[in-house]
A and B are shown apart, each in its own frame.
Chain A
Amino acid sequence: MADTFNGGGVSDLTMLQAINETLHAEMARDDRVVVLGEDVARNGGVFRATEGLYEKFGEHRVVDTPISEAVIAGATVGLAIAGLVPVAEIQFLGFSYQAMHQLAGQVARLRYRTQGRYEPSITIRAPFGGGVRTPELHSDSLEGQFANVAGLKVVMPATASDAKGLLASSIRDPDPVLFLEPLRGYRGIRGEVPDGDHLVPLGVARTARDGDDIVIITWSYQVELACRAADSLRSEGLSVRVLDLRSIVPLDIEAVAEAVSHCGRAVVVQESCETGGFASEVVATINDECFWSLEAPVARVSGYDVPYPVGMLEDLYVPDESRIIAAVRRTLESD
């Protein structure tokens, strides 16, 4: 499936600008789209992701809610039943624990438990991830926990262009989508973004770097680090492919199988704890799909099995370029 481009031009945007531009465009395109969350209206969001929406679309479509994550998530169920297309923000993903029973227990199951009577066209946006020295429960990388919730899609862009194309697809998708935005990427990732309508289909991985010797499979901000690692290893003559999953649910199983079969060696990188993280699911998928093409055991690079740490320990926790490079070397040397 090719990405959809319309208009032809491109703009150089940060990921944050791409997200903001997409929210503007989707609200203009479809008057059923409503934005709700803490500080999203008058303040334009604590990171300004929703900047200007309140001024442009008014207090009925851009709504500051009380500090109530459960009812932010729970109300999206009712809004969807009433025929609207809610785009809710959970201010930081760690706060989603206070909405877990609605997100996992209700939002994700609405279609299934009503056997298709209701179309849960619901998008929940939340920033997450390390590198910006936030207080406790702001940076936790919880995607693996949500990947374990049947009925929910989990979308994790790594580039500004994908942030736009995947967010537009998420808002238009008839299933509930958890759209996770890397804190470090808001202003730290920028790039050319197609002007006009730009859709990237959900569940189609992207080759961020081509290569033949080994593939690094990852998502979100870790794609940026994996690409830096690949570029640095290229100067040593190593050909390292980087596969950006874009969404962990739906998982592009075929792209994973194709990349691993081609390279014969793989490293999976994630920011979350190692135990039960989504990287384990990727490794299991590799076992299912292409175990006999492997020339070495698949390595994982993860956070450690501790709660997300305080600022002075953060750099030890979050995988960085050097840990990725070490894992790549180990896997290349292993026979």
Chain B
Amino acid sequence: MDRHITAPISDEDAKSLQAGDYVYITGTIYTARDAAHKRMYEALENHQPLPMDVKNNIIYYMGPSPAREGHPIGSAGPTTASRMDKYAPALLDLGLKGMIGKGKRSQEVQQATVRNGAVYFAAIGGAGALLSKSITAAEVIAYDDLGTEAIRKLKVKDFPVIVVIDSKGNNLYETAIQEYSEI
């Protein structure tokens, strides 16, 4: 089913999304990948504040290529989400409602997603040029020294994603493959 949602995402919207839904996100989301997650995790361990309030927010696992003049961002597709599995449950327990990436997640992340009524979305891997067209503004808000891995605040319009893990624990990667598997 096609859905249009706004970000930050409400508890109700997050819970209503189902694995397999094709979702267009409009609003504000944040980027963070390996190095930024490590720093956020260390900040939490040291009882320090995070660079942004994650409550009801969506984190996009993405490190863009540099923007050309006149463009807000360069190529901007998802990176493999499983590298963030170590860090994601702590953020979900703080109220993070959505993650955008690609690829499988651990049992711990799936359980934390269900426990917190959150959603794991996949964006199309390797479609960075196309996806950049749905990003209207980008601003580095933390960890500038990390270059492409800095945390960016993005304004997105109809950013296309697919629900892979929903708040009930359904997993599209598992069900969709079964449907087409012949061996």
Judge: A and B partners, yes or no: no
Residues of B within 8 A of A (CB): none
Residues of A within 8 A of B (CB): none
